[in-house]
Each structure stands twice: as structure tokens, then as C-alpha cells.
Amino acid sequence: MSVELDVFVGNTTIMDKEVYQLWLNGYTVNDAVKVRIEGGVMEECEASAEVLLSDTMDQYRTFQMCERLLHHPAKLANQLLFQIPPDRQAMLIERYYAFDDSFVREVLGKKLSKGTKKDLDDVSTKTGITLKSCRRQFDNFKRVFKVVEELKGPLVENIRQHFLLPDQLARDYAAIVFFANNRFETGKKKLQYLTFQDFAFCAGQLINNWTLGAVGKTNNMMEDMDVDLDKEFLQDLKDLKILITDKDLLDQHKSLVCNALRGKTNVFNEMEANFKNLSRGLVNIAAKLINAKDVRDFFIDLVEKFIEPCRSDKWTSIDMNLYLTHYTNSAHILDTFKHHAVWTRYMGVIKSCILRMYHD
């Protein structure tokens, strides 16, 4: 004796948010039922485990049928198969495209290829996120990446329009696409302390300041304008090397910064002692960015060359802010230093990235 077939179809498609989340999280029907039972929905609604199982299966089926539409969220609004109120549609999309920070940290900056996908079971074991959920998230990244790759215009806007995502989520996806495209290294042990939101912030900075789209040089309709860094700018960055190669300039810069900071910080001595090293670090990073390989190491370099020395000297974030402000501004006072625009564009991003990244 068994139920052979059991379906429920509503004119307005009924979707339970809780079950949807369980489905997204990759729970099997049975596990989902267990979770629901523990959640106490049974007592609440005088239901039995049987009823719960039937409902869960039914919902899962509905979600599976919807999934194909969720791959092209714009279709969800003008498909005829399911009558779903717009607020529900938005919820479905938003949750479908939501991702776990711990998962994204694992794949951030990696090539969104089949190879990476094969390694997802390791990611799954490591993060405790079900493989199914990992696959969905990975496929989402890849899908967004592919669609945006072929589109012109601003990245975030494209994502928002094509995937009907809320602003913040669209920005996060922009960051993921940007990282994947430039293959930034984020997996090294030294970078483990950084959260996805740290990187997303940095990505936002880079997109807004260092890409082609950033400076308005383009007519707004170029491919990859927000994804690729502005090559011309990277080329110009090499000119900054003068700040460390020219001994006078370096000394001058140091004294300007030190004068400004004296008495304002507890770590002045360490700062003064380290100035040249730190300055070399930052300028060298800038000079090397023209090489794609060094772009990948951008974050690791920032940490190794700047953040770690400062941290070992126990700078506070306030110290850091002070230092970077004066370090940036002092360069403009230098007589022989001519590359003010490039310096501002470079240091603006560096400063906000470092400040964001400077935590435990």
C-alpha cells in the first residue's frame, strides 16, 4: 500500500519560504522533513509527518520546475506556466542567487571552469555546505559571468537588469565576476582572514577607479569596460617608481610624512623606521601591475608588503588612516614629482582597500 502519485497545483503557485531555503541549501526531501519537524511546524498546524513529507515533495517538485526559469530571471515575469505574484518572484530570484560567504571565499578569483566545478566536493567538505548547494552557487557565478561577458555597458547595472537582483547582490556578483576575470589570488593562507565582503569592497573600488569605465574615457558602450583594468593607467603606474628610485625624492617624502605625523601617533618610531620599506612596497606593487601575473597577486602583495609589517608594529586603524592620508598628500608637495593624477587614482584605491583589509 503506497501513495503512487501525489500532486497539488494551485492557480497561484504556493511556495513556502522555509522549504525553499531548505531546497536551496541542498537538503534531500527526507532531511528537509526532519528539519521541518524539528522546527515545530507540525504542532503549529496539527499536521502529521506524512502530510509534511507530501508537502515537502510537492514543493521540491515545484522548485525544480521553476529552476529552469530562475536561470533566466527575466523569463519568470513573462512565463505563463506559474502564476506567481511579483513579490514572490523577487523573493525566489533573490534567494536563488544568494550565496554563502564561506563558499564564495573558496572560489573567489578562481577560473569558473569545469575543473573548478569538479573540485566542488572538496569545497563542500571544507565548508559544510552541501554539494548541491555548492553547485547551484557555482553555476550562478558562471551564468552571470557568461552573460555579462558578452554585454556592453556598466557591469553592476547589467547584472541588475539581467538577473533582476537587488542592488547589493548585483554589486557582489560584479565583484565575483571581476575577481574571476582578473583571477585575483584570494586563497593563500595569509589572505584567509579576509572576508568576501572585504574583497567585494575592494573590487568595487577597483571597478570604480581603475577600469576603463571608471574614468569616463569610454563612450559607455565598450565591452568589458568594467571588467578589465585600464591598461593605459597600469602603464602610467610605472612612472611612480621615481618615488623610490630617486633617493632625494624618497627622503623628502619621508620627512614630509614624518613631520606631519610626529606626536600624533604612538607608533611614530616604527613608522619612521619602516617608511622606506612601506613606500617601496606600495610603489613596487603599482609598477608591477602591468603584468597580468602581478595583478593576480595584488592582494597578497598588499598584505605581505604593507599590512603585515604594520600589523607587527601594532598600528591601529587610526594610525593607518593617518599615515596613508599624509603619505598620499605629501607626494603632491614634492617638487620633482609630476604624476599627480596617476598617484591620486592609485592611492585612492590603495588607501580604501588597505583600510578595509586592515583588521584581524
- Residues pairing with 211 in the sheet: 229
Residue 46 as a binder of other proteins (CB under 8 A): the answer is yes
- Would you count residue 28 as binding other proteins (CB under 8 A)? no
| Distance from C-alpha of 107 to C-alpha of 117, rounded to nearest angstrom | 9
Q: Is 51 in the site for other proteins (CB under 8 A)?
A: yes
For 65, phi and psi rounded to 5 degrees? Answer: -70, -30
Burial 311-329 (b: 16+ CB within 10 A, else e): eeeebeeebbebbbebbbe
Closest C-alpha to 93, from 70, 72, 74: 70
Residue 39 in the binding site for other proteins (CB under 8 A): no
* Amino acid symbol at 3: V
Q: Is 150 in the site for other proteins (CB under 8 A)?
A: no
By CB under 8 A, which span of 9-17, 115-123, 185-193, 248-256 interacts with other proteins?
9-17
β-bridge partners, 223: 152
Least Å distance, CB 20 to other proteins, is 14
| Piece of 50-58, 147-155, 304-312, 340-348 that binds other proteins (CB under 8 A) | 50-58
Closest to other proteins by CB, 15 vs 302, is 15
Query: Any contact of residue 93 with other proteins (CB under 8 A)?
Result: no
String of b and e for 193-216 (b: at least 16 CB within 10 Å)? ebbbebbbbbbbbbbebbbbbbee
Rounded Cα distance between 154 and 270, Å, is 43
In the bound state with other proteins, the residue whose beta carbon lies nearer, of 28 and 321, is 28
Establish if 54 lies at the interface with other proteins (CB under 8 A).
Answer: yes
Question: Phi and psi for 280 in degrees, rounded to 5?
Answer: -60, -45
Single out the residue of 38, 40, 43, 80 in contact with other proteins (rule: CB under 8 A): 80
Helix (H, G, I), strand (E, B) or coil at 211: strand
The grid coordinates of residue 340 equal 599627480
Among 19, 52, 144, 164, binds other proteins (CB under 8 A): 52
Nearest to other proteins of 51, 333 (CB atom): 51
Q: Which three cell numbers stand for residue 276?
A: 622606506
DSSP string, 25-59: TT--HHHHHHHHHHHTHHHHHT--HHHHHHHHHHH
Out of 40, 43, 78, 115, name the contact with other proteins by CB under 8 A. 78
Does 3 engage in binding with other proteins (CB under 8 A)?
yes
6 binds other proteins (CB under 8 A): yes
Contact window for other proteins (CB under 8 A) among 45-53, 171-179, 321-329, 342-350: 45-53
For binding to other proteins (CB under 8 A), which residues are involved? 1-14, 45-48, 50-52, 54-55, 57-58, 61-62, 64-65, 75, 77-83, 85-87, 89
